[in-house]
């Protein structure tokens, strides 16, 4: 009994954390190892609908992702920031059963590293907000973090997500 409990604890979860951690340790498996085919859980749903499940452990690996992304490159070919930040973008370039895929990525509203990874992975950004002053300031802050502010700033503008992305292209 103890052995089977240990094995299930060590198995890679079929979640976004399982996918990301396997990529980090160089054990990328078939995408099927991470995706849940939805109609196997509910046969009333279409057979071409898949889910890469969220995982509460994403917050736990955020420090690891940040440290790895900020690691000093040891050569020109070593690109730690790019490798971490494009993890999910690379996944969205894969086909399933030889067919192109449309991905919808849902993330929390913080600007943590995994939110940055999700923003980079998408082609479009949909940000639902409330119609109140706090939400207006929050959305303004989000766009400033991504693109920089309208009014150029000598310090803040050096830390936008857009600037980091331009460095890797």
The CB density around residue 162, as the number of other CB atoms within 10 Å, is: 12
Give yes or no for residue 1 having a pLDDT over 70: no
Q: Residue 168 and residue 89: Cα distance in Å, rounded?
A: 14
Task: pLDDT band for 169, please (50, 70, 90 cuts).
Answer: low
Helices (H) and strands (E) in the chain, counts: 8, 2
CA atoms 52, 143, 111, 152: torsion sign = positive
Cα distance between residue 134 and residue 48, in whole Å:
39
pLDDT per residue over 77-130, tens digit each?
999 999 999 999 999 888 888 888 888 998 877 789 999 999 999 988 888 888
Residue 75 predicted with pLDDT over 90:
yes
Q: What is the DSSP letter of 37?
A: E
pLDDT at residue 7 greater than cutoff 80: no
């Amino acid at each position: 009994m103890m052995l089977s409990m240990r094995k299930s604890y060590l198995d890679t979860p079929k979640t976004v954390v399982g996918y990301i951690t396997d990529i980090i340790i160089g054990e990328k498996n078939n995408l099927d190892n991470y995706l849940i085919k939805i109609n196997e859980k509910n046969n009333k749903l279409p057979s071409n609908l898949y889910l890469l499940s969220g995982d509460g452990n994403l917050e736990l690996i955020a420090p690891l992702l940040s440290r790895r992304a900020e690691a000093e490159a040891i050569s020109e070919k070593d690109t730690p920031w790019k490798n971490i930040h494009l993890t999910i973008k690379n996944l969205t370039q894969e086909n399933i059963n030889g067919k192109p895929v449309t991905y919808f990525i849902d993330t929390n509203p913080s600007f943590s590293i995994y939110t940055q990874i999700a923003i980079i992975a998408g082609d479009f950004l949909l940000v639902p907000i409330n119609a109140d002053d706090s939400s207006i300031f929050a959305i303004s802050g989000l766009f400033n973090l991504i693109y920089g502010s309208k009014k150029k700033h000598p310090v803040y503008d050096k830390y936008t997500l857009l600037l980091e992305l331009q460095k890797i292209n």
